[in-house]
Structure 1
Amino acid sequence: MKFTRKANANWQGTGMEGKGSITTQSTTLDKAQLSFKTRFDQGVGTNPEELIAAAHSGCFTMQLSFLLNEGGFTADDLATEATVTFEDGSITLIHLDLKGKVPSISAEEFEKTAAKAKEICPISKLLNTTITLTATLVS
């Protein structure tokens, strides 16, 4: 399977005082605000690190679902929080915090499958940083 996806960014002004927006092909993001404040402080809008966290948590969780299905399991619920650490001009760490409810799976099998999903998720393979994982099976 091969496909492409697009997103567009627009920026006006200086890095610190300027403003911009991001629009995705699906228009889920449609001129979402981007600014120095939304990236390095707090503010209404998004930022590249938040978008990477969203992409990574979504990709990993979907990959895990596929792997669980291959093993004969179906998740009742998979919830992943991705935390992206930006430090000195680089993304130095991404931590995936997974909580899953999967009937009939052992904690060991769940953790093993989650670790494999972390390794083979396309976004994980794309990123050049340390990626850690905590996988918790809930009943």
Structure 2
Amino acid sequence: MKRKATAVWNGSGKEGNGKLTSQSTVLQDAQYSYKTRFEDGVGTNPEELMAAAHAGCFSMKLSFVLGAANFTPEKIETDCEITLDNGAITTSHLTVRATIPGISAEEFEKCAQEAKENCPVSKAYNMNITMDASLA
């Protein structure tokens, strides 16, 4: 399987702007710029997209891990915070809250750790990945 996205950038780094389009067109000419990345402009930025990818991938992987352990989650909610520090993306922090009937805290922690270590996005990110996991 292969997926793609296209970025088009116009102008200088600080005054220019760009548009992102994903293969599925969920992103269709989504704007990004210096302001959307480093200030409070309207649009997206690479770190936000990385956070969405990690939160989504982790949540799906956790659901599969739980299923393999004979648990069916009612809800998995994952926040992801990507840190950009001095020109480098250094950390991805996952905060997961889940409702899973019949699971113990210990079993949940084990499943969450397995998902964190083995979701494809975690494997791709060359950075420190941290996590807080709790049952609702």
Scaled by the length of structure 2, the TM-score of the pair is 0.99
Tell me the alpha carbon deviations over residues 62-112 of structure 1, each in whole angstroms, 9 at most, x when there is no partner: 000000000000000000000001000111111000000000000110011
Following superposition, the deviation at residue 54 of structure 1 comes to 0.2
Aligned to 1:47: 45
- Which runs of 5 or more structure 1 residues have no equivalent in the other structure? none
Distance 2:127 2:108 in 1: 24
Distance 1:18 1:65 in 2: 41
The letter for the 2-side match of 1:130 is N
Aligned to 2:5: 7
Distance 2:69 2:39 in 1: 43
Aligned to 1:112: 110
Alignment RMSD, CA only?
0.4
Please list, as runs of the form range in 1=range in 2, the aligned pairs for 1:72-83 lying within 5 A after superposition: 72-83=70-81
* SS, match of residue 45 in structure 1: coil
* SS, match of residue 123 in structure 1: helix
Aligned to 2:33: 35
Following superposition, the deviation at residue 45 of structure 1 comes to 0.5
The 4+ residue runs of structure 1 with deviation greater than 6 A are none
* SS, match of residue 92 in structure 1: strand
Following superposition, the deviation at residue 129 of structure 1 comes to 0.4
Aligned to 2:68: 70
Distance 1:57 1:74 in 2: 19
Distance 2:21 2:122 in 1: 23
Distance 1:111 1:84 in 2: 22
Scaled by the length of structure 1, the TM-score of the pair is 0.97
Q: Percent of pairs identical after alignment?
A: 54
* SS, match of residue 4 in structure 1: coil
- Which runs of 5 or more structure 2 residues have no equivalent in the other structure? none
Aligned to 1:85: 83
